[in-house]
Structure 1
């Protein structure tokens, strides 16, 4: 990929994905129940090899193209795939061989449902404020497959507290859980654990949300975990979380791009066909200029997303800033484009079952999850001032 375009192979692959999304996956999505995990849809993603592609070495750009293309034709399929990636990627980057052997084949096949359990009632965008406690428990021994026993020779922790706003909860088969194992404040002292859903003391409930994908709350009542369940190293959980989010934040922007493009395409069709005021809607300058603005913003967002993905794949130092810019601009752009599309369609776009009614509900959440827009602005500002500080000449008082 150059700075401005995709190569022919990538273009053809994206076209194939859009067709699969519309013809194979959307019918399965329509049979699903809103707010519940759609396991037949996940199985189809596995059969088509898309979940395997999710964990290939294609990098962030491949992930972005995958998410954008699926979102264009079936947002439910895109979200189901992305949530599998978010919940499982910590295992890919930092999990043990036993953890990966137990769960990766099941996830890739679409048989096991994963979840990324970071947010809490009082720790959403401020991920460093986690309060879920992992208290030492020298009598606990737990196996990587989900079984748990207690013995005098075991060493481990007991998880106590709550997680909230967790996608795929409470129906996931395993959770990547971030808990505080030390007294140190902020990002320090947080450890990542792989917690199978059948661990004693772990319960959950579904939350009724605007977004149609499953979201729930989890309660940990002394849930036993051991060193075998740690992802990475004790105290290194925040790094695991941030590495995962740095990869997935640009691809949230790609999800938003898919929705924006779908809304733009629908608008071009509608305004071409719709007759009003003695002519086609597209012939009204007020309408055609809105469409031009929608297209321009969408393309600008696409370039930011591609640039962030390329930066991640090349190991650039400015990945946090680029990821934040991509997520911020793409999600805010998608909100604008979908809202404008609804306005140009009129009342029909508000009817239950209309594409734009669906997109209008879907497009709101990405501006909040994986770091709200305000958090992305804070990240961008922090990185900007850090770069300026490194590049400036010290003042006489500092010399």
Structure 2
């Protein structure tokens, strides 16, 4: 079924990606250890040229990649997406030196990237970040008696060197942590300034004071927490501008939110196709399952919702590529509809398959675990509804 008038070359590319995912990526994914970075899988994504495309493709191509890979190998899709999420701020906002050091290694799959935004007390509320970037102070001279307290400490800089900070605090629920090679870290450089006081830093994993631990999560990909104990960073590590890191975060999320929807659509399509095959071949009540009107109508509803979600994802991605003014709202709609739809479709598929779908190793058992997290990460469904409403009222007030 053609969606959103994709060109024949795009459809052929999607089919090729599904084949690559099934034949070359799925076997590597099966050898991976749940909860840990599968470096062999990431390296294969690099050798196939898919990681390099993260930096040359638009939002629609990113969606096509993620949907196609998710259909046959969710682990490969997630590995690709996490490389893009962690490295996109470097690609879009990094200095020439930062880009030269890290992007070729991300593209060939030899460096693992991570996007470190969430905190224990600031998950969906990204403006409430508490990880502190504290300026290093020059030695404070004693004030002569009677002249009041010493002057406020200035931001330290070595002779002819960059400004310096120390990162102190915690990040939590960070994909690829603690095994990534570098992190895009968002820290507060201006206290009590909300979104206006956040700075993005590129922090290599070997910085002193940076430690981490894995978290035992439902999703099979690696997720961990990071502890920052006075981790040193300088102006050379800043991505974008000081106190303007929130723009870096939101720009990245606006690009990747539609493609989270594409990931969800890929899972929904896999569940739908499995259900079509099962209900067409399963004997029940003197015929096939598909002969029962309740079953056939359920399958039709699954197909309807999947296609509607796909169309919205493609529309949001195309709006992003066209630099349309309503990208935040469209991206939020696409992620919201697609992730909620995938949850519905996978759940319905499990119901129509019966107990066999709950057996470890069954496709639907795997999808049932995978499909839950996208409704939370990169902005929970409730956050997406808030974004949509905010955009709608802003548009109404501008009339």
TM-score by length of 1: 0.94
Give, in whole Å, the separation in 1 of the partners of 2:61 and 2:30.
Answer: 26
Deviation, structure 1 residue 137: 1.3
1:94-143 per-position Cα deviation (integer Å, ceiling 9, x unaligned): 0000000000010000000000000000000000000000000157xxxx
Counterpart for residue 106 of structure 1: 105
Counterpart for residue 397 of structure 1: none
Counterpart for residue 368 of structure 1: 376
1:53-75 per-position Cα deviation (integer Å, ceiling 9, x unaligned): 1111x210000000000000000
Query: Is it true that 1:389 corresponds to 2:397 in the alignment?
Result: yes
Counterpart for residue 39 of structure 1: 39
Query: Is it true that 1:69 corresponds to 2:68 in the alignment?
Result: yes
* Contact 1:138–1:152, Cα closer than 8 Å, also in 2: no
Deviation, structure 1 residue 152: 4.8
Give, in whole Å, the separation in 1 of the partners of 2:196 and 2:169.
Answer: 18
Query: Is it true that 1:179 corresponds to 2:178 in the alignment?
Result: no
* Contact 2:3–2:310, Cα closer than 8 Å, also in 1: no
Give, in whole Å, the separation in 1 of the partners of 2:341 and 2:4.
Answer: 19
TM-score by length of 2: 0.94
Counterpart for residue 196 of structure 1: 204
**Aligned residue runs from structure 1 range 223-242, under 5 A:** 223-242=231-250
Q: How many residues align?
A: 379
Q: Between Structure 1 and Structure 2, whose CA radius of gyration is higher?
A: 2
Three-state SS of the structure 1 residue aligned to 2:232 is strand
Counterpart for residue 134 of structure 2: 135
Counterpart for residue 299 of structure 2: 291
Deviation, structure 1 residue 221: 0.1
RMSD of the TM alignment (CA)?
1.2
Instruction: List gaps (5 residues or longer) in structure 1.
Output: 140-149, 392-399
Give, in whole Å, the separation in 1 of the partners of 2:238 and 2:368.
Answer: 39
Give, in whole Å, the separation in 2 of the partners of 1:173 and 1:287.
Answer: 48
Query: Is it true that 1:303 corresponds to 2:286 in the alignment?
Result: no
* Contact 1:121–1:163, Cα closer than 8 Å, also in 2: yes
1:142-170 per-position Cα deviation (integer Å, ceiling 9, x unaligned): xxxxxxxx995353000000000000000
Deviation, structure 1 residue 5: 1.8
Counterpart for residue 13 of structure 2: 13
Query: Is it true that 1:213 corresponds to 2:221 in the alignment?
Result: yes
Give, in whole Å, the separation in 1 of the partners of 2:375 and 2:346.
Answer: 13
Deviation, structure 1 residue 186: 1.3
Deviation, structure 1 residue 361: 0.2
Query: Is it true that 1:328 corresponds to 2:327 in the alignment?
Result: no
Give, in whole Å, the separation in 1 of the partners of 2:293 and 2:381.
Answer: 32
Counterpart for residue 358 of structure 2: 350
Three-state SS of the structure 1 residue aligned to 2:194 is coil
Give, in whole Å, the separation in 1 of the partners of 2:3 and 2:282.
Answer: 37
Query: Is it true that 1:318 corresponds to 2:326 in the alignment?
Result: yes
Give, in whole Å, the separation in 1 of the partners of 2:17 and 2:4.
Answer: 21
Label 1:386 to 1:3 Cα distance change in 2 as closer, same or farther (>3 A). Answer: farther
* Contact 2:157–2:164, Cα closer than 8 Å, also in 1: no
Instruction: List gaps (5 residues or longer) in structure 2.
Output: 139-155
**Aligned residue runs from structure 1 range 46-65, under 5 A:** 46-56=46-56, 58-65=57-64
Counterpart for residue 23 of structure 2: 23
Three-state SS of the structure 2 residue aligned to 1:224 is strand
Counterpart for residue 90 of structure 2: 91
* Contact 1:251–1:305, Cα closer than 8 Å, also in 2: yes
Give, in whole Å, the separation in 2 of the partners of 1:249 and 1:152.
Answer: 40
* Contact 1:3–1:307, Cα closer than 8 Å, also in 2: no
* Contact 2:3–2:307, Cα closer than 8 Å, also in 1: no
Three-state SS of the structure 1 residue aligned to 2:346 is helix
* Contact 1:68–1:255, Cα closer than 8 Å, also in 2: yes
Give, in whole Å, the separation in 1 of the partners of 2:209 and 2:194.
Answer: 26
Deviation, structure 1 residue 17: 0.2
Three-state SS of the structure 2 residue aligned to 1:99 is helix
* Contact 2:174–2:225, Cα closer than 8 Å, also in 1: yes
Deviation, structure 1 residue 4: 2.8
Equivalent residue for 1:258, pick from 266, 272, 275: 266
Deviation, structure 1 residue 185: 2.2
